[in-house]
Structure 1
Amino acid sequence: MTSASAGSRAPSRLPFHLPRLGIGTAPLGGLFHEVSEEDAAATLTAAARAGITYFDTAPRYGHGQAEERLGRLLAPAGITAPVISTKAGWLLRPRPDGSPGAVVTDWTERGIRASLESSLTRLGRSYVDILYLHDPDDHPDEVRRTACPAVRRLREEGLVRAIGFAMNHSGPLAAYVAEFEADVVLVAGRFSLLDHEALTTLLPLCARTGTAVVVGGVFNTGLLADPAPGAMFNYQPVPGDTLARARRCRELCAGFGVPLAAAAVQFPFLHPAVASVVVGCRSAAEVTANAAAARFAIPDELWHRLAEEGFVPAELLG
């Protein structure tokens, strides 16, 4: 792969190595469609076979179900030393009968600590590797006043190894990185073959600060996995012009014998700030396909061809 020319990267703030490919567990919490316990177990077994050890989760994924499944199923799958990131800022409120109820924001130190403690119980762990503040777009005052001091204390206590932010929009995320010493951030859907938003401010900033970047949503909610009519794009039905762009991207990749999914998964690594990509998986077949996409050899010529039509920013190519 062509090395990025988007500038050098400061030493990473992460105190551990983050695997290049991870699994996002929102599907295991029932995003879009329910996933059976059997399929969830098979998904994690396939991850073990593929050598995948990084798993991103959150209390909001299935009202705790994704975390509970990781807690139950990772060890039986053969994954005994996983890297796990979870999130805080939202508390689960079960109904009196114990069934899932409301999810409410809580950025207080008490709320952040309660969220993490509940996550650790569901995961069956004494610590997590990364704790992200989850979608704090509209809460800068609370983040500044209580949430950031809270996660720093949790890191000092050894309950988390690294702290950061997880958001869908790169502008507010960059503002938080500029103000706070984040070890790592997760940006979803804003650095893909169809969306370069994160390149304007977030990625250069993270490269300067040594903040590791995890990229999610590289398929833009499935469109770049299979650009078919009826596909979703960023959680909405795909517009016709965007579908046409995705199909053109697939056509260019096919001209070099490269699956579109392989280019989508590997594209973020053209920027030196990107440490890892997480892809949502709901089945063993999806894990196997995504692992193969991450390993597929992509010729430099394809990246340059994609740059000619605007799918890859030219500044990323040496």
Structure 2
Amino acid sequence: MSARDQIAALEAGMGRAIVGQRDVIRRLIIGLLANGNLLVEGLPGLAKTRAIKALAKNLEADFSRIQFTPDLLPADVTGTDMLYRSDQGSEFRFHPGPIFANIVLADEINRAPAKVQSALLEAMEERQVTVAGKTHPLPPLFMVMATQNPIEQEGTYPLPEAQLDRFLIHVLISYPPVEDEVEVIELVRNEEIAAIDDGRDSRTNSGSETSPEKGDKATNTSAGKQTLDVIPQQAVFDARREIADIHVSHPMARYMADLVEATRHPSERSPDLARWIEIGASPRGSIALDKAGRANAWLEGRDYVDPLDIHAVIHDCLRHRLGLSFEAQGEGISADRAIDTLLKVVALP
């Protein structure tokens, strides 16, 4: 199978576990292909964690989940040196933390204080962890996927702007249509039945010899997945190689830069933007548009980036990088509303 076919199979596998969130699945795939970190935000019960776990389940990858809480310590994330004793003497050895995985789910990331948030910054940007003066590289396939709840403020800590800027895209999850919610009910019901049946089979076969057919069917990876269903990591690396060759014309690159520049000098573009935007996007915003735009073009089967690709990803790339004014917040103006206006006032290439 080609890299495109394997990534399509990965997207389809996630679609079987997540109902009514096709756009979210596509954004997770874009983040994976663009080699970036994702912030997934939505109300409770909207399958934020499930979507991320579905990606890890269908990919040949080590998965780690960190439940962020107010009492979490940096060493709980990065790992620490531990004293080992033997007949030859004592020595300190590094014991890696849960950050040393291919896909790291930082669940409810805004529940941990800034000291713990800072432990992630080096990993997210430099793809390495430094403990006791020694640097430990992270795996070649590495991404942080963080979730946060937008409505609960008690016991939460706003993410620092420097950390927000390290997320390639910020994905918003909304309520599914009622038709999709019916499918969700049926999907969860079928999963419960399957889990009960699996438990019954395991008790029935406990201590007995497994037949050759069942033995073949049970040949799974450590994550409990059938090997044939799992997409290898090499497919991601091959896809990234192809995405690197996606053509971006100079006018398209200038269009991306103009969009980001307009957030820094909004008064030159629109009176509304001047009232709404207080802090514009950093150069990471332009880089995010380029990376995510090329990944979107590749997924759409094109070998070049056009404005449609930029429009498809610009909200996810910039919504967490804009600092809205007090006036905008008072009027209920969202970052997405400001970006919609931005697209109207910046000329197409």
TM-score, normalising length from structure 1? 0.31
TM-score, normalising length from structure 2? 0.29
Which structure: larger Rg?
Answer: 2
Higher relative contact order (CA 8 A, sep 6+): 1
